[in-house]
């Protein structure tokens, strides 16, 4: 059985990292690596429910992995580049 590859920043401190949560956060982070987006755009792109995206964005925000790029609603979110880094194989 192949092991699923989660985004390194999908693992959060202080919470139980379930497979479902890791999968959702991985989808969100991969979408944000391409460009900043609103929660509704992320929900469309990742095919996750809007409130699931909001929940995970707030969790990621508390760990400074994502930030709100705009000050007014609808908020645009972007990755900070903080957190664990991907290992690059030579």
Question: What is the distance between the alpha carbons of residues 14 and 63, in angstroms, rounded to a whole number?
Answer: 10
Instruction: State both tokens at 9.
Output: 């920043």
Question: Once rounded to an integer, what is the mean pLDDT over residues 53-67?
Answer: 96
pLDDT for position 90: 47
pLDDT for position 83: 59
Least confident of 11-15, 40-44, 46-50, 86-90: 86-90
Question: Reduced to 3 states, what is the DSSP secondary structure of residue 74?
Answer: coil
| Structural domains for the chain | 17-79 (1.10.10.10)
Question: What is the distance between the alpha carbons of residues 27 and 51, in angstroms, rounded to a whole number?
Answer: 14
pLDDT for position 51: 98
Our measurement of the distance from residue 29's CA atom to the centroid of its chain's CA atoms, rounded to an integer in Å, reads 3
- Whether the pLDDT of residue 2 is over 80: the answer is no
Q: What is the pTM of this model?
A: 0.85
């Amino acid at each position: 059985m192949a092991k699923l590859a989660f985004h390194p920043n999908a693992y959060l401190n202080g919470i139980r990292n379930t497979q479902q949560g890791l999968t959702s956060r991985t989808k969100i982070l991969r979408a944000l690596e391409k460009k900043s987006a609103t929660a509704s755009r992320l929900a469309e792109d990742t095919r996750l429910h809007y409130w699931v995206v909001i929940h995970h964005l707030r969790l990621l925000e508390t760990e400074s992995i994502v930030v709100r790029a705009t000050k007014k609603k609808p908020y645009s979110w972007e990755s900070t580049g903080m957190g664990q880094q991907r290992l690059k194989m030579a």
